[in-house]
């Protein structure tokens, strides 16, 4: 079902992500969106992740266009923990951008599996809390996802089964 990712590999992924984000922020002095799959790192190498990332990217591009925001640069990265995309975006405000990204996460048929992070033009992450939004809900039990993840509430098999169910349901509604 999945390949194991070491703690060191996970650390390298976070370091690479942080460097890419900071490079884009420094070069363009605009907010940066990071698109990745919202699931345990051990499952991010599964075949369906590329489709989730692509669906997220298309939704983000459409939303940005509708709002008159401009993508000034983009970058892709495929690492130990799956695929990620980065977009430097010219917009009115990073907080407003974050709200639009949360709207995609909350409304798209695959939104529960999308992780659309926003960093402002100074390199500070814009959190759900800073936008007066509650934490994401767990895809299995509907409790706050960070709590379930911290307690390892659900095993990988349960999570993978639920992810596959969400994907199948999204294909029916598409």
* Residue 6 near residue 14 (C-beta atoms within 8 A): no
For the chain, domains (ranges, CATH) are 7-133 (3.30.70.260)
Integer Cα distance of 11 and 164 in angstroms:
27
| Model confidence pLDDT, tens digit, residues 127-160 | 888 887 888 899 999 899 989 989 989 999 999 9
pLDDT at residue 94 is higher than 80? yes
> What's the pTM value of the predicted model, to 2 decimals?
0.89
Element (H, E) at 118: strand 114-119
Other CB atoms within 10 Å distance of the CB of residue 148: 19
Tell me the pLDDT band of 70, cut-offs 50, 70 and 90.
very high
Question: Per residue in 39-69, is it b (16+ CB within 10 Å) or e — as a string?
Answer: bbbbbbbbebbeebbebbbebbeebbeeeeb
pLDDT at residue 113 is higher than 80? yes
Give the pLDDT score at 1: 43
Output 47 or 115, whichever has higher pLDDT.
115
Give the pLDDT score at 128: 87
Tell me the pLDDT band of 174, cut-offs 50, 70 and 90.
low
pLDDT at residue 52 is higher than 50? yes
Which two three-digit tokens encode residue 1?
A: 């079902």
* Mean pLDDT value across residues 108-128: 95
């Amino acid at each position: 079902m999945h390949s194991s990712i070491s703690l060191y590999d996970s650390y390298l992924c976070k370091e690479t992500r942080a460097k890419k984000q900071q490079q884009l922020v420094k070069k363009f002095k605009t907010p940066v969106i990071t698109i990745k799959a919202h699931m345990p790192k051990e499952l991010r190498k599964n075949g369906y992740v590329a489709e989730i990332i692509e669906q997220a990217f298309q939704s983000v591009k459409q939303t940005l266009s509708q709002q008159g925001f401009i993508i000034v640069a983009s970058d892709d990265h495929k690492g130990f923990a799956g695929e990620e995309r980065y977009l430097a975006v010219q917009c009115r405000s990073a907080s407003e951008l974050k709200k639009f990204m949360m709207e995609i996460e909350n409304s798209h048929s695959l939104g529960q599996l999308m992780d659309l992070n926003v960093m402002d033009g100074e390199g500070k992450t814009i959190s759900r809390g800073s936008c007066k939004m509650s934490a994401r809900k767990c895809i299995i039990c509907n409790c706050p996802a960070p709590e379930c993840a911290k307690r390892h509430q659900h095993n990988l098999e349960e999570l993978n089964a639920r992810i596959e169910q969400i994907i199948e349901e999204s294909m029916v509604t598409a």
